[in-house]
Amino acid sequence: MNGIEHESAGARDTTEGRVYTVTGGDWGEVVDTVARADDERIIVNMGPQHPSTHGVLRLVLEIDGETVKEARCGIGYLHTGIEKNMEFRNWVQGTTFVTRMDYLTPLFNETAYCLAVEKLLGITEQIPERASVIRVMVMELNRISSHLVALAAGGMEIGSTTLMVYGFRDREVILDIFELVTGLRMNHGYVRPGGLAQDLPPGALDQIHEGVQLLRSRMHEYDKLATRNPAFRARLVDVGHLDLAGCMALGATGPILRATGLPHDLRKTDPYCGYENYEFEVAVADTADSYGRFLIRLEEMRQSLRIVEQCLDRLAPGPVMVADKKIAWPAQLAVGPDGLGNSLDHIRKIMGESMEALIHHFKLVTDGFRVPTGQAYVAVESARGELGVHVVSDGGTRPYRVHFRDPSFTNLQTMAAMCEGGQVADVIVAVASIDPVMGGVDR
């Protein structure tokens, strides 16, 4: 900084030369700039603790009256260091970290990560068919539960408390299924490299079938409450507008992109887990606004129910983990007095087979398996758009590097384009239509 003078910098001479200490930051600069401006503009600091900002998201708005002149996002308030932490855990333990990123779509996080690890291992084609079908089924159920939160939270933020109650009511149907299948309502750790933690428990198929029928019977309620509601339409139509060119420039995917009329969906364009074998339509709209994104999420829930029904028909008996004993993590879980863990019968079987089998199980659980040196990128169509994972291995039992392309992080870049020039009240609607989850943004 030699030779540079700044009004907020204090200088002192040292043996190394003149040292400057600069204070302030983005907020101070904005306030100083506005203070010097000869107009009536003010700064509104919305968040990070505010019910209209979808969690700990900070919005810095420069407004002139009720018109937003400039809008910026402040993130990092929910930073967890998940990507860095994974470098100190083995490959299987990574699933318990990634599931906590976008906490509304944990099963997408797990599947994307495991697909990348399997690609490095070279076992993509060895994944049992039953495991792939169950992965698709739980992901589509997860898509529905995520969209229900988007509709419920978005409705609450514009004053539609009934929509909020309906959304969370129906989400409970899916969370009950997840609790039965995985043992947990959220943060499951159910999808593992090579397959699944365990097979479907008794009664799961019946509960899933009943849940699908119940949810399908309630879909028309959202049309009555919101789609055909003039007050609801008036709050969303032409709000948060972003056309195709803007989406392409900013990297937006998911409902934001499909609301411009482009039917981009990785399940169709770059299928994984056998999605090419399922019949469903890609939901699109041509409004490029918040209302179009709402309609897309509603239609995607119907299409997901359609996919889940096909999964139920396609399920055939078989294993849910690869046959390679050097990779497969044997697990037969049961709910005991100390929570969810391996059943006593399974532990007796492991300890009673042979000393070699016991040693192998111990090494597999404590150290984990080795993954060949290399790197892989895999992307899945999450509820918010393209969720990609880049995995790098140095040949050890732990990842050298794991990095996620989270759709919430990328889609948040569209906030300024959607809000600037609009009204302050419309900022809340625009952010709700983006549907960001800060756990994925700040990972």
Three-state SS annotation for 370-390: CCCCEEEEEEEEECCEEEEEE
The pLDDT, as a whole number, for residue 360 is: 75
33 and 101 in a single domain? The answer is no
Domains contained in the chain, number: 2
147 and 35 in a single domain? The answer is no
Long-range (24+ apart) CB contacts under 8 A made by 175-181 are 175/145, 176/207, 176/211, 177/141, 177/204, 177/207, 177/208, 177/211, 178/138, 178/141, 178/142, 178/145, 180/204, 180/207, 181/138
Q: Last residue of a domain, which of 26, 57, 74?
A: 74
The pLDDT, as a whole number, for residue 357 is: 74
41 and 90 in a single domain? The answer is no
C-alpha to C-alpha distance for 198 and 182, rounded to whole angstroms: 8
CB-count burial class (<10 Å; 0-12, 13-18, 19+) for 108: buried
C-alpha to C-alpha distance for 126 and 177, rounded to whole angstroms: 27
Angle at which helices 204-222 and 129-157 pack, to 10 degrees? 30
Residue 79 reports pLDDT greater than 90: no
Q: Cα angle vertex 104, ends 244, 389, to 5°? A: 65
64 and 211 in a single domain? The answer is no
Range ranked top by mean pLDDT from 29-33, 70-74, 113-117: 113-117
The pLDDT, as a whole number, for residue 34 is: 59
92 and 164 in a single domain? The answer is yes
118 and 255 in a single domain? The answer is yes
Nearest residue to 384 (alpha-carbon basis) of 81, 50, 149? 149
Nearest residue to 441 (alpha-carbon basis) of 116, 147, 77? 77
CB neighbours of residue 69 within 10 Å: 14
Position 390 in a domain = yes
**Which residues are paired to 382 by β-bridges?**
385
The pLDDT, as a whole number, for residue 110 is: 96
CATH of the domain at 239: 1.10.645.10
Q: Which residue has the tokens 């996002």?
A: 73
Position 406, amino acid: D
Nearest residue to 213 (alpha-carbon basis) of 106, 316, 312? 312
Position 357 in a domain = no
Q: How far is CA 197 from the centre of its chain?
A: 21
C-alpha to C-alpha distance for 239 and 432, rounded to whole angstroms: 11
Task: Give SS3 for 321.
Answer: strand
Residues in contact with 339: Cβ distance below 8 Å, sequence separation at least 6, in sequence order = none
Nearest residue to 419 (alpha-carbon basis) of 431, 411, 435? 431
Position 40 in a domain = yes
The pLDDT, as a whole number, for residue 218 is: 94
Position 400 in a domain = yes
The pLDDT, as a whole number, for residue 1 is: 42
C-alpha to C-alpha distance for 230 and 208, rounded to whole angstroms: 35
51 and 94 in a single domain? The answer is no
The pLDDT, as a whole number, for residue 272 is: 95
Position 332 in a domain = no
67 and 86 in a single domain? The answer is no
Q: Last residue of a domain, which of 43, 74, 105?
A: 74
- Residue 16 lies in domain: 9-74
292 and 411 in a single domain? The answer is yes
Better-scored residue on pLDDT, 355 or 167: 167
Q: Last residue of a domain, which of 74, 102, 123?
A: 74
The pLDDT, as a whole number, for residue 8 is: 47
Residues in contact with 146: Cβ distance below 8 Å, sequence separation at least 6, in sequence order = 104, 105, 383, 384
Percent of the chain, pLDDT > 90? 61
For 303-331, what is the mean pLDDT?
89
Q: Which residue has the tokens 């540079």?
A: 4
Pairing of strands 195-196, 191-192: antiparallel
For residues 45 and 26, is the Cβ–Cβ distance under 8 A? no
Residue 38 reports pLDDT greater than 60: no
For 325-345, what is the mean pLDDT?
69
Position 345 in a domain = no
Better-scored residue on pLDDT, 272 or 329: 272
207 and 300 in a single domain? The answer is yes
Position 341 in a domain = no
CB neighbours of residue 78 within 10 Å: 17
25 and 140 in a single domain? The answer is no
253 and 304 in a single domain? The answer is yes
Position 334 in a domain = no
For 159, phi and psi rounded to 5 degrees? 95, 5
Q: Cα angle vertex 142, ends 292, 261, to 5°? A: 25
